[in-house]
């Protein structure tokens, strides 16, 4: 089934939620005129539909393959990547002084949504590079920037992110990789990293690994971590002391090589500090915050793709009769429920994710409040949008019936691919903990309170107002609760806040459609109404889970749950 990027829906969100014309009034984003944005939306769609989507199933089937340390990508990936570089896609929002185009991050978000929808395994490769560019620009030395940024921004070289080790997953502070100072300003890095996305491949001549390691005498935990840039090929052209030892076999994203990496088996891989010694987590967070928002977009992209596939199938497939005529399954109320729900969740997740990127853009323009709001929104986008990706992809399988469970239709691949997004870049449980431990108190609570006040000022739908009331009360009591009780209710409170924020933005989209500012079809308007009337009240029902507290969860020993 062919895939069409939702250019109209994206344009609506860029206008009403990101408010792109406002951004384009600034000197920094003056290039983001209506015409440029339109041209970009269509060009990204054309690349996603024409080059990446046709490789999605090929990549799933052929997978990336390991042979003696080298990794070969599936047929067509090298050519598609070369076109990606040629198109200048990597540098869309990167700084102009290093060869980027300096456009708003919200436009890179549109591009990433399209590429994720078309081919998630491919899109993961540039996705991690985007965060690395930001981290290097913010924390790297001038020399490192000069050597690496231009090629990373052109896409000629691509970057990876190396945190995870067997004993250090969510607990990044437990990592053991080491770095010792070399004779010059370089370091020798040793250690083993697991699960490194696109850690080795044949798409680029060099791979720039961003590696977390401990220096001699560093304190335990995250305070003792430093970030190093460790290239596969050293500036002089020799191979660095690092290699991909094997690839993981996994549920989905088969074309994306998930690598076990060994650094320094011959004495030490040469690397350079990014930022100060022991300040690695700060630099890594620059990279991770970008990646977390981008992982949220993976949920959006897959939800869009799964929805289009399901609607198309439901219009064709006939089961049952009405008035003596064969019925399309799309006309059975329960199938229609699934289709409307899929469209509603997809639109809402897009609105929430783009809104966060719009706040990042305003932060770039010096709006501190917007920067804090982006911080509050990051766990919501990462967790809720990826949960939406899984729910919608799962509904997509359901709409297809048995044909969804077998591989021919492609619906199953979306579900398999979607399932990783709630796990990596900090599991959604870690996002929930971040939300209730840090984000609800950010800037003395003013960051979240400001968001809730803005929702209140605009919300008109009765159910949305009820949810806003509930979230305000629950946030206030969460701020005062014992840490364990707060954590026990964290996932539910995060979800409620995400649905509330998305509902607020959906209502805004609905008003734009009603006033004729958008030519969206009535399916979009109906999906918005469904979100406000059905999904918002569902979130209200999560209040019990927020309030239940830890005692209910720990009443019995975990062993008794076996």
Catalytic residue set = 425
Output DSSP code: residue 238. P
- Tokens for 12, please give them: 């609506």
Question: Which one of 423, 442, 512, 545 is in contact with ligand FAD (CB under 6 A)?
Answer: 423
Question: Which one of 28, 78, 83, 250 is in contact with ligand FAD (CB under 6 A)?
Answer: 250
| Whole-angstrom distance, CA of residue 322 vs CA of residue 482 | 57
Of residues 168 through 187, those in contact with ligand FAD by CB under 6 A are: 169-170
CB of 203 to ligand FAD, least distance (A): 15
Binding mask 463-502 for ligand FAD (x = CB under 6 A): ----------------------------------------
CB of 198 to ligand FAD, least distance (A): 7
Give the residue with the Cβ less far from ligand FAD, 461 or 486: 486
Give the residue with the Cβ less far from ligand FAD, 44 or 390: 390
Give the residue with the Cβ less far from ligand FAD, 372 or 420: 420
Region of 136-144, 321-329, 402-410, 429-437 interacting with ligand FAD (CB under 6 A): 429-437
| Whole-angstrom distance, CA of residue 386 vs CA of residue 85 | 27
- Tokens for 470, please give them: 């509930």
For the CA atoms of the chain, what is the radius of gyration?
A: 23
Annotate 346-373 with DSSP letters as a single string: HHHHHHHHHHHHHHHHHHHTT-HHHHHH
3-class secondary structure, 336: helix
Question: Which one of 433, 496, 532, 540 is in contact with ligand FAD (CB under 6 A)?
Answer: 433
Question: Which one of 64, 108, 186, 258 is in contact with ligand FAD (CB under 6 A)?
Answer: 258
Give the residue with the Cβ less far from ligand FAD, 444 or 559: 559
CB of 170 to ligand FAD, least distance (A): 3
CB of 498 to ligand FAD, least distance (A): 17
Give the residue with the Cβ less far from ligand FAD, 102 or 426: 426
Give the Cα-Cα-Cα angle 52, 55, 56 (nearest 5 degrees): 90
| Whole-angstrom distance, CA of residue 258 vs CA of residue 272 | 24
CB of 284 to ligand FAD, least distance (A): 9
Output DSSP code: residue 69. T
* Burial (Cβ within 10 Å: 0-12, 13-18, ≥19) of residue 326: exposed
Give the residue with the Cβ less far from ligand FAD, 196 or 392: 196
Of residues 104 through 163, those in contact with ligand FAD by CB under 6 A are: 161-163
How many residues belong to the site for ligand FAD (CB under 6 A)?
A: 19
**Is the CB of residue 96 less than 8 Å from the CB of residue 30?**
no
| Whole-angstrom distance, CA of residue 51 vs CA of residue 49 | 6
CB of 145 to ligand FAD, least distance (A): 22
424 lies in the site for ligand FAD, by CB under 6 A:
yes
3-class secondary structure, 279: coil
| Whole-angstrom distance, CA of residue 200 vs CA of residue 209 | 10
Annotate 193-206 with DSSP letters as a single string: EEEEETSS-SSSS-
* Burial (Cβ within 10 Å: 0-12, 13-18, ≥19) of residue 465: middle
CB of 364 to ligand FAD, least distance (A): 25
Give the residue with the Cβ less far from ligand FAD, 216 or 249: 249
Binding mask 354-393 for ligand FAD (x = CB under 6 A): ----------------------------------------
The residue number whose beta carbon is nearest to ligand FAD equals 169
Neighbours of 556 (CB within 10 A): 9
What is the β-pairing status of strands 70-72 and 318-322? Answer: unpaired
- Cα separations in angstroms, 309 against 8, 181, 404, 409, 420: 18, 54, 10, 9, 20
Region of 137-145, 263-271, 418-426, 546-554 interacting with ligand FAD (CB under 6 A): 418-426
Of residues 193 through 222, those in contact with ligand FAD by CB under 6 A are: 195-197
CB of 503 to ligand FAD, least distance (A): 26
| Residue 276 CB contacts under 8 Å (≥ 6 apart), including other chains | 226
**Is the CB of residue 475 less than 8 Å from the CB of residue 448?**
yes
Give the residue with the Cβ less far from ligand FAD, 388 or 430: 430
Of residues 39 through 78, those in contact with ligand FAD by CB under 6 A are: none
307 lies in the site for ligand FAD, by CB under 6 A:
no
Neighbours of 477 (CB within 10 A): 14
Nearest to 106 by CA among 376, 350, 315: 350
Neighbours of 155 (CB within 10 A): 22
Question: Which one of 88, 95, 371, 429 is in contact with ligand FAD (CB under 6 A)?
Answer: 429
262 lies in the site for ligand FAD, by CB under 6 A:
no
Give the residue with the Cβ less far from ligand FAD, 150 or 173: 173
- CA 29 to chain CA centroid, Å, is 23
Instruction: Give residues in contact with ligand FAD (CB under 6 A).
Output: 161-164, 169-170, 195-197, 250, 258, 420, 423-424, 426-427, 429-430, 433
């Amino acid at each position: 089934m062919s895939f069409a990027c939702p250019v109209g829906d994206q344009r609506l969100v860029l206008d009403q939620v990101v408010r792109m014309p406002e951004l384009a009034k600034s000197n920094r984003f003056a290039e983001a005129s209506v015409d440029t944005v339109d041209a970009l939306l269509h060009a990204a769609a054309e690349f996603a539909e024409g080059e990446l989507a046709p490789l999605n199933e090929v990549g799933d089937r052929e997978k990336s393959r390991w042979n003696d340390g080298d990794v070969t990508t599936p047929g067509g990936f090298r050519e598609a990547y070369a076109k990606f570089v040629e198109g200048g896609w990597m540098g869309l929002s990167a700084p102009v002084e290093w060869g980027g185009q300096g456009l708003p991050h919200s436009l890179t978000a549109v591009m990433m949504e399209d590429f994720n929808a078309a081919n998630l395994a491919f899109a993961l490769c540039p996705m991690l590079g985007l965060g690395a560019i930001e981290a290097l620009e913010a924390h790297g030395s001038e020399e490192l920037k000069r050597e690496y940024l231009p090629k990373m921004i052109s896409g000629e070289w691509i970057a990876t992110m190396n945190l995870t080790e067997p004993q250090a997953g969510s607990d990044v502070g437990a990592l053991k990789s080491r770095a010792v100072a070399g004779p010059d300003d370089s370091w020798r890095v040793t250690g083993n990293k697991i699960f490194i996305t696109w850690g080795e491949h044949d798409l680029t001549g060099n791979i720039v690994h961003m590696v977390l390691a401990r220096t001699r005498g560093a304190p335990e935990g995250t305070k003792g971590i430093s970030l190093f840039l460790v290239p596969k090929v050293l500036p002089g052209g020799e191979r660095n002391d690092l290699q991909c030892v094997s690839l993981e076999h996994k549920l989905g994203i088969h074309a994306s090589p998930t690598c076990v990496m060994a650094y320094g088996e011959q004495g030490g891989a040469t690397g350079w500090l990014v930022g100060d010694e022991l300040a690695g987590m700060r630099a890594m967070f620059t990279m991770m915050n970008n990646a977390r928002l981008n992982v949220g977009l993976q949920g959006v992209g897959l939800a869009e793709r799964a929805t289009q596939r399901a609607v198309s199938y439901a219009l064709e497939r006939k089961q049952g009769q009405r008035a003596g005529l064969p019925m399309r399954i799309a006309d059975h109320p329960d199938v229609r429920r699934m289709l409307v729900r899929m469209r509603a969740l997809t639109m809402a997740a897009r609105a929430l994710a783009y809104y966060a990127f719009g706040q990042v853009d305003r932060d770039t323009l010096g709006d501190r409040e917007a920067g804090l709001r982006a911080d509050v929104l990051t766990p919501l986008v990462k967790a809720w949008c990826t949960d939406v990706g899984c729910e919608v992809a799962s509904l997509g399988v359901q709409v297809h019936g048995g044909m969804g469970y077998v591989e021919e239709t492609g619906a199953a691949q979306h579900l398999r691919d979607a399932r990783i997004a709630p796990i990596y870049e900090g599991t959604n449980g870690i996002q929930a903990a971040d939300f209730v431990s840090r984000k609800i108190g950010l800037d003395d609570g003013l960051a979240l309170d400001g968001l809730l006040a803005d929702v209140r000022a605009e919300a008109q739908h009765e159910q949305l107002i009820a949810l806003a009331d509930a979230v305000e009360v629950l946030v206030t009591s969460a701020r005062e609760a014992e840490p364990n009780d707060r954590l026990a209710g964290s996932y539910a409170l995060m979800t409620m806040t995400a649905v509330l924020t998305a509902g607020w933005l959906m209502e805004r989209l609905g008003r734009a459609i009603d006033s004729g500012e958008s030519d969206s079809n009535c399916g979009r308007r109906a999906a918005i109404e469904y979100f406000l009337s059905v999904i918002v009240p569902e979130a209200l029902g999560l209040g019990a889970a927020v309030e239940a507290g830890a005692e209910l969860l720990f009443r019995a020993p975990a062993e008794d749950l076996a």
